[in-house]
Amino acid sequence: MSQISRFLALFACTLLSACSLGLDFGEAVPDNELDVQDTADTMVPDGGDGLDDTDLEDVPTGPCGFVDLTTPAASGRAVLEAMPPELESFTIEAWLLPGELTGNQNVIGRYGEFGVSGGYSLFLENAFPQLGMGCALSGFERQTSNISLQTGVWQHIAVTFDAPQQRGDLFVNGVYASTMNVSVCLGAIDVPSNVPFQIGYNDPSGGGSYLGGIDEVRVSSVVRYLPGQHFDPPTRLEADEDTVLLYNFDPGPSPFADNSGNGRTASIASGFAALVMECGP
């Protein structure tokens, strides 16, 4: 695995001209500039440090890039947001490069507040992936992975929810990893209408956002992987007719563009995110 420090682009929450930031997705955002720190090949937000400026449009375009959500504590944890897809059955998958594996870290989901409002979420409890579901009839339910993650290594995580079967499942690196081979959610998943789809979200009652690298985030409206099934996860995910959201995080003018073609461009709602211009998994 190559070092993250090769080529970073740090973005603050007022950075991207191609995205509107926060919950108001119609809000206009002005163009902003980046500094280029030649000695470290690092791009950081303009801080008046006398370094040469470059526009986001000047970032080289290519197939290799991922997002680093490991942020300094003082700046807050990074949260990416997008217009929420409406889902019944679904598959959520991504490649993760965990920076640390302690406590509760929320990775991907459309979730409200634990114990208050429901939704769905892929989160980590220490080193173990979890699928959290706010079920209409049984409240909060979870499916827990029996395979733990490692820090500093790219790993593919997938969670599925089969609405007719009321069943959630997990897969780690293509290996079936659910601890319960039963239906775990009674009733439909109850998603609050005002909650956005988020990558690295904060839950006031259920932990902070994910700390680490993330790449190839895909959300599908079908169950792609079946219980007990093993598969070979591709390092680059592609869109098809069942894809409702896809972030390849390719370098270029719009690194948070939705590559599914559905227009759900992500934006940085809080904290800092780093676009790492090297290949992820």
For 76-121, write each residue's pLDDT tens digit: 566 788 877 778 899 999 999 999 898 889 899 887 665 566 788 8
Does the residue 58 lie in any domain? Answer: no
* CA-wise closest residue to 189 among 56, 46, 92: 92
**pTM exceeds 0.85 for this model:** no
pLDDT given at position 13: 32
pLDDT, one tens digit per residue, over 171-193 is 999 999 998 877 888 877 888 77
Contact in structure between 35 and 49 (CB atoms under 8 Å)? yes
- pLDDT at position 244, please? 94
Q: For the chain, how many residues are written?
A: 281
Asked if residue 275 belongs to a domain, the reply is no
Surface-to-core class of residue 188, CB atoms within 10 Å of its CB (0-12 exposed, 13-18 middle, 19+ buried)? middle
Residue at 18 is within a domain: no
- In a domain, residue 202? The reply is yes
pLDDT at 20 over 60: no
Query: Which CATH number goes with the domain that contains 211?
Result: 2.60.120.200
**Which residues make Cβ contacts (< 8 Å) with residue 126, sequence separation at least 6?**
101, 102, 103, 148
Q: State the Cα–Cα distance between residues 146 and 168, nearest whole angstrom.
A: 14
Q: Is residue 195 part of a domain?
A: yes
- Residue 40: the pLDDT is 26
Q: Could you tell me the pLDDT band of residue 215, with boundaries at 50, 70 and 90?
A: very high
pLDDT tens for 135-183 read: 888 888 889 999 999 999 999 999 999 999 989 999 999 999 998 877 8
Q: Mean pLDDT, to the nearest integer, of 223-238? A: 93
Instruction: Output 200 or 235, whichever has higher pLDDT.
Output: 235
In this structure, is residue 17 part of a structural domain? no
Query: Which residue range forms the structural domain that includes residue 179?
Result: 74-248+259-266
Question: Would you call 48 helix, strand, or coil by DSSP?
Answer: coil
Contact present, 196 and 82 (Cβ < 8 Å): yes
The answer to whether position 65 is within a domain reads: no
Largest alpha-carbon pair distance within the chain? Answer: 60
Which helix (H) or strand (E) element contains residue 212? strand 212-220
* Tally of structural domains, the chain: 1
Q: Is residue 24 part of a domain?
A: no
pLDDT of residue 216: 95
Provide the token pair at 199: 């990558």
